[in-house]
Amino acid sequence: MKRSWPQVQVALDLLDLEKAFRIAREAVASGISWIEAGTPLIKSEGMRAVKSLSQGFPKNTVVADMKTLDAGTIESEMAFAAGAGVVSISGLAHDSTVRDSVRTASRYDGLLMADLLMSTNPRVRARKLEELGVDIVCLHTGIDAQKALHSGIKVSRTIVEIARSLRIPIATAGGVTPGAVEGLVNAGVKVIIVGGWITGSKDPTRASRQIMEKIARSSCL
Asked if residue 61 lies in contact with residue 1, where contact means CB atoms within 8 angstroms, the answer is: yes
- C-alpha 216/C-alpha 60 separation (Å) is 19
DSSP code for 85: S
What is the per-residue DSSP string for 75-122?
HHHHHHHTT-SEEEEETTS-HHHHHHHHHHHHHTT-EEEEE-TT-S-H
In-domain check, residue 2: no
The count of domains in the chain is 1
Nearest alpha-carbon partner for 168 in 193, 132, 220, 221: 132
In-domain check, residue 31: yes
193: left (phi over 0), alpha (psi -120 to 50) or beta: beta
In-domain check, residue 15: yes
Q: What pLDDT tens digit does each residue of the chain (221 aa) get?
A: 446 899 999 999 999 999 999 999 999 999 999 999 999 999 999 999 999 999 999 999 999 999 999 999 999 999 999 999 999 999 999 999 999 999 999 999 999 999 999 999 999 999 999 999 999 999 987 676 666 665 667 778 899 999 999 999 999 999 899 999 999 999 999 999 999 999 999 999 999 999 999 999 886 65
Domain holding 16, by residue range, is: 7-220
Strand, helix or coil at 157? helix
CATH number at residue 117: 3.20.20.70
Model pTM?
A: 0.94
